[in-house]
Structure 1
Amino acid sequence: MKQFKKSQEYHDNPGCTSVDRNKTTFSNLPKLILIGLLSIVLMLVMTACSNDAGADKKEPIIFADGGWDSLKFHNEIAGIIISEGYGYETETISGSTAALMKGIEQEEIDIHMELWSENLGDIYFDGVENGDYIQLSVNFDDNFQGLYVPTYVIEGDSARGIDPIAPDLKYITDLPDYWEVFKDPEDEGKGRIIGSISGWTVDEILYEGIQEYGLDDHYNYFRPGSESSINISLASAYEKGEPWIGYNYEPNWVMGKYDMTPILEEVEDGPLSSIGAQDIDIISNKSLPERAPDVVDFLKKYKTSSLIANNALVYIQDEKASAHDAAIKFLHENEDIWTTWVPKEIAQKVKEAIK
């Protein structure tokens, strides 16, 4: 009876059609086991392949964007090489200097291509020493920032029929004698110094330095709303041959296009000494060397100059081009420079991509 019931149960199974029910059932069993084993193996293979694909996937490289054009230009050069040569996707995160540095420290941002080291001072140098950031290389060091006047203000410009207006102006301590030359259009009792942008570290240094020199007795410190406002103010005055004094820096398109003279401090350790010529560093967060050692090796060799950036920024301004356009132009015209930063096979990939 027990044997019959067991046979009946298999007979009721649609998969059993043989007259000899017991024989049919047990002959099919190895096939069922084999099918099951094959399914398990297939699943394991698919899982392994999926894991391998995930292991090969490269995380995007995130650049800091502080908003100024020369930084955007360098972000584009490095971004093109990293994406086309090394196969990483690239992204940018915009923000104030403080926010970007925090993002690098917290590893939400990977790279800053143009870090003005002295502007940040101890915040930066202590961070490097503590391992919060990694200094990879000096992008350029032939730079300057501070107060400038058009050279014709001091020397005149005979070709334009401009006589010298402040022939003895050389140092910041000379400025009280010339406040009427740079008269504030909204306050006839004082001159106007065009300052830096609120939120930039240099703005605080510059403002406090002007107070230490007592220039606030003779000048109003005017903060424009953007870098473009500073440059438009300068360009407008320059094209008209009018006097102008204010903050600027190299590299910048106005510095490349116009003949400007910096107004210096008479002493080496003056209140504004920290914002003069300085190393402009490329830095990364602490995890990038392990995550993308090939990119780090490339950035350690990256080195340019203020002149390179000035020329690029003049091109952007005059041709209404983008930072990406300027980067492509640089890569086409300066293979002797950038191909020394990367292995030959990487350089070839980039060349093929930008044809």
Structure 2
Amino acid sequence: MLKKLSAAALVVAAGFAFSAPPAAAAGCPVKDTIKFSGLDWASNHFHVSVASYMVEKGWGCKTESIPTTTAPSLNALAKGDLHISMEIWYANNREIWDKMKATGKVMEPGGVSITGAVQGFYVPRYMIEGDKKRGIKAAAPDLKSVADLAKHAKLFEDPEEPAKGRFYNCKIGWNCERVNTKKLQAYGLDKTFTNFRPGTGEALAAAIASAYKRGKPVVAYYWGPTWVLGKYDMVMLKEPEYNEEIWKKLDKAKSGKGMKATAYPTIKVIIGMNKKFAEAAGPITTMLSKYHLDGDSVAKALVFMKENKDKTGAKAAADFLRKNQTIWTKWVPADIAAKIKASL
């Protein structure tokens, strides 16, 4: 059962209080509580906190962030159980999202929550180049690509299955877990590596951080912008250059065995909405059509979240709104911007 967390509660907990007026208050274009996809990773928490705060303070609406994972969130968006998803990684979810758009139940307002997002298989740079300051010798100077992993599997020994290396995948429920599982099969790495899925996104980050701090080998899927790639010097291993035809075939396949694989594309992360809600929400939909942040801006927010132990993104949202008024004031009318400014 999904636990509901109100955006108001998140923001109060983060240290800047507000009291959201009822959804029916003058100015809010919709009567119902606006429900955001509470996808469980940091950048989504940040975007939801930014959008929620702007909607609550600008229009007097009530919002909730509903904890969920990728596929269930998209289905809920189509059904109207959720209204807004601030992060749809289109390349990872192409098939399901295109099918949903074809039904006319969801739409893209046009906003982009992250430009230049990257994904891939990463190892610490010290494994390849060493680190004199830390007294670490290069364990695998010839490790350049995913194809090189098999011969270095012993470096990444899985304590539960010592004959194989351990590959840190996404958690089950994230679409990247499904993609990476098929990639391991396509590259033949399932023969030399275990496919380890941490229970949470935080656990995946913690595994990388723990290995890095100890100067140990680790290979994992990760994505950017994130605080992990911002803080730790990681190298993305080369894969065959992105090929859309190969990507589509692998995405649709049930297994990657006997198939070709390709690198993740560099993508933009889009915003999705329930279509009926979008039509009713008017000015909020317009705001989300103009919402646009680049990878550097998001990376700064994520580092802020990590340094300030801001798990909800509420503190980072307030910091962003205070310091970047030339950016977000372009998303809303002047009178709405004035209300938001006054609340900060």
Q: Match for 1:83 among 35, 49, 56? A: 56
Distance in 2 between residues matched to 1:184 and 1:139, nearest whole Å: 36
Structure 2 residue aligned with 1:68: 41
Q: Conserved in 2, the CA contact under 8 Å of 1:172 and 1:266?
A: no
Who is 2:274 aligned against? Answer: 285
For 2:232 and 2:153, the matched residues in 1 are separated by: 23
> In the alignment, which residue of structure 1 is the partner of 2:192?
218
Contact persistence 1:154–1:165 (CA under 8 A):
yes
Equivalence for 1:296 = 285
Whole-angstrom CA distance in 1 between matches of 2:29 and 2:207? 51
**Corresponding position of 2:6:** none
Code of the residue aligned with 1:118 in structure 2: it is: A
In structure 2, what is the Cα distance between the partners aligned to 1:300 and 1:77?
Answer: 15
**Preserved CA contact (<8 Å) 1:104 1:284:** yes
Report the Cα distance in structure 1 between the residues aligned to 2:265 and 2:138, rounded to whole angstroms: 26
Take 1:261 and 1:57, find their aligned partners in 2: how far apart are those partners? 46
Instruction: Give the SS at the match of 1:143.
Output: strand
Shift, 1:138, TM fit: 2.2
1:1-355 equivalent positions in 2, closer than 5 A: 58-136=31-109, 137-269=111-243, 272-273=261-262, 275-321=264-310, 322-354=312-344
More helix by percentage: 1
Distance 1:230 1:335, change over 3 A: same
Identity %: 35
1:76-124 CA distances to partner (integer Å, 9 max, x unpaired)?
Answer: 0001111101221111222222221111111121100011111112111
CA separation in 2, counterparts of 1:263 and 1:327? Answer: 33
Partner of 1:23: none
Which structure would you say has the larger Rg? 1
Unaligned runs of 5+ in 2: 1-23, 247-259
What is the aligned partner in structure 2 of residue 12 from structure 1? none
Q: Give, in whole Å, the separation in 1 of the partners of 2:30 and 2:178.
A: 43
Q: Which deviates more from structure 2 when the two are superposed, residues 324-333 or residues 255-264?
A: 255-264
Distance 2:25 2:126 in 1: 65
Distance in 2 between the 1:204 and 1:148 partners?
Answer: 17
Superposed CA RMSD: 2.2
Deviation at 1:274, TM superposition (A): 6.9
Q: Deviations over 1:179-217 (max 9, x none)?
A: 122122222221111111011111111011101111111
The structure with higher relative contact order (CA 8 Å, sep 6+) is 2
Cα shift at 1:71: 0.5
Q: What residue identity is the alignment partner of 1:58? A: K
CA contact (8 A) 1:148 1:248 kept: yes
TM-score normalised by the chain length of structure 2: 0.83
Tell me, what secondary structure is at the counterpart of 1:88?
coil
Superposed CA offset, 1:120-163 (max 9, x none): 12111232233221012222221112211111111222222222
Describe the shift of the 1:184–1:86 C-alpha distance in structure 2 as closer, same or farther (beyond 3 A).
same
TM-score (structure 1 length as normaliser) = 0.80
How many residues were matched structurally? Answer: 304
Deviation at 1:308, TM superposition (A): 2.1
Give the direction of change, closer, same or farther, for the CA distance of 1:52–1:239 in structure 2 (3 Å limit).
closer
State the Cα distance separating 1:251 from its structure 2 match.
2.4
Deviations for 1:292-313, whole angstroms, at most 9, x for unmatched residues? 1100110000011222222222
Query: Residues 135 and 184 from structure 1, CA distance in 2 versus in 1: closer, same or farther, beyond 3 angstroms?
Result: same
Structure 2 distance, partners of 1:153, 1:103, is 43
Specify which structure has the higher proportion of strand. Answer: 2
Give the CA deviation at 1:65: 0.8
Corresponding residue SS for 2:35: strand
Matched residue type, 1:86: W
With over 3 angstroms needed to count, the CA separation of the structure-2 counterparts of 1:272 and 1:113, relative to structure 1, is farther
Three-state SS of the structure 2 residue aligned to 1:248 is strand
**Residue aligned with 1:141, SS:** strand
> What runs of 5+ residues in structure 1 fail to find an aligned partner?
1-50
After TM superposition, the structure 1 stretch with the greater mean CA deviation from structure 2, 193-202 or 122-131, is 122-131
